[in-house]
Chains A and B, each alone.
Chain A
């Protein structure tokens, strides 16, 4: 019968379609495997203790990531110090205090837009405001302030979601006892939202760790042979060092770049695993 033949064809088409979808999905995963394999093959041999403890050098064999690693550590620390309090505070205001109105919607749209702006534009802003106008020059201070602006929208959005997830019944119970809004937020809402906020913060920081363009804009150096000691010192970071080595033609520098990438990925893996574990734990112990 005609219908029968058509049905067979349709079924075959459907199966083929499903196969194509599956194949493309696994292709995506396969790409990751290729990438990692390639990196490990290139860089693993180069990884040793000296690599972590030497400064960069004109000689590829002697080059190390010490200054870049410390630069990244400093940068992450300062960025966290600026962006976390401000981001969480802004989220608290928007979720707990602000009246739903024009100003609140405006701020919300604004944050959503900022989250989509290319990071290099923040670099341009940082160059004009922190490096030139405030004369912080090409220092860790400029870099961390710029990077804080980059990840601030990310932190605010994540923190707002965490605050929103706290059930309203807890707030009502606290207000009914005669607590002020800040007492309620500080003693009940914030502690309840803390794991979610922390997860978002970790993810935002891991994004900051990998960012390069804004830091180049504000003048982070690509060749640094010292460890920064002061927020006004110039600096370099791990991704910038990798960029520097990768741009050189010599194969030996490429190997150094690969090794640097492995260090970077190792740190990122740690941070993201911490975030995932945290997310799992809170979802399991959430008892409301």
Chain B
């Protein structure tokens, strides 16, 4: 990967990102939303020369990558290649693991997320996360979704309890869960099925009105039907949010994502439009992985 820090160009895309991510207006072809007007894909999140080490052992080595706005970017690779570690670095969740050190930068709209003045709490409000195993709070469905906004004073800021209730309904609808739970909003979130719980977790993340949603293998603990529902969701969600999804399921990556990053043993091997990565990979290792020869 390129060693010098890339320069910021006027369009907001770094040189490197431009090299590895085709400029969307020119080569994207038919955009996913089918409006005929290609949305400019600017990087919301970038890493530059990022190294992440666990107690000295490198988990991510010299990664430089740009995540485009309003797109789904998939991160794939064999187990242990550092996918989840990278994902958690985007919302500063690695800080809860002792012994993690980093070099390099993680930028959010050009601002260094790990700058001393930056509050990780603020970061996590803008960059939300859905985990591998659904983890709803042992509270009611309503409270699950409403808690995040309410501790931020949402009700106070936006006009009272009704506004909060509207937000909950909106989030549950966006997550495709509202119709199934509208009659039992106050029963415990733990009474839902696995797939429903995961959609509840998605609704919970959406209620914070984030800009980016990070998903760490969100379907790996679910049955195929629930998986399909969540994949459908992603097509709708990317109109409003930027999504980064880690998955060990290549077919899933091929189905849902616009861009794919392939990692192996902590190194970014290849990054590009999903079609290109899967049908015409540049690197041999990528080809071996996507054709199932290893991993």
Task: Tell me if A's interface is mostly helix, strand, loop or mixed.
Answer: helix
Contact of A172 with B96 in the complex, beta carbons under 8 Å: yes
Contact of B138 with A176 in the complex, beta carbons under 8 Å: no
Chain A window 137-179, contacts with chain B (Cβ cutoff 8 Å), 1 for yes, 0 for no: 0000000000000000000000000000001011011111111
Known interface pairs A170-B137, A173-B137; A180-B131 also in contact (CB < 8 Å): no
A84 to B138, CA, bound (A): 25
| Segment touching A, from B65-73, B121-129, B256-264 | B121-129
Contact of A187 with B151 in the complex, beta carbons under 8 Å: yes
Contact of A175 with B137 in the complex, beta carbons under 8 Å: no
A177: contacting residue among B122, B147, B190, CB under 8 A? B147
Number of A-B contacts (CB under 8 A): 61
Contact of A176 with B98 in the complex, beta carbons under 8 Å: no
Contact of B93 with A175 in the complex, beta carbons under 8 Å: yes
Contact of B128 with A176 in the complex, beta carbons under 8 Å: yes
User: Is B84 among interface residues, defined by CB-CB distance under 8 A?
Assistant: no
Q: Which residue of A lies closest to B143 (CB)?
A: A187
A179 to B147, CA, bound (A): 10
A129 to B151, CA, bound (A): 43
Contact of A176 with B147 in the complex, beta carbons under 8 Å: no
Contact of A176 with B133 in the complex, beta carbons under 8 Å: no
In B259-290, the 8 Å CB interface with A consists of: none
A178: contacting residue among B125, B136, B188, CB under 8 A? B125
A150 to B62, CA, bound (A): 55
Contact of B122 with A172 in the complex, beta carbons under 8 Å: no
User: Is B230 among interface residues, defined by CB-CB distance under 8 A?
Assistant: no
B194 to chain A, nearest CB (A): 13
CB-based closest 4 A-B pairs: A178-B125, A178-B124, A177-B148, A169-B135
23 A-B interface contacts by CB (under 8 A): A167-B135, A169-B133, A169-B135, A170-B137, A172-B135, A173-B136, A173-B201, A173-B204, A174-B137, A175-B124, A176-B93, A176-B124, A176-B129, A177-B124, A177-B204, A178-B122, A178-B123, A178-B152, A179-B148, A183-B151, A187-B151, A192-B138, A288-B138
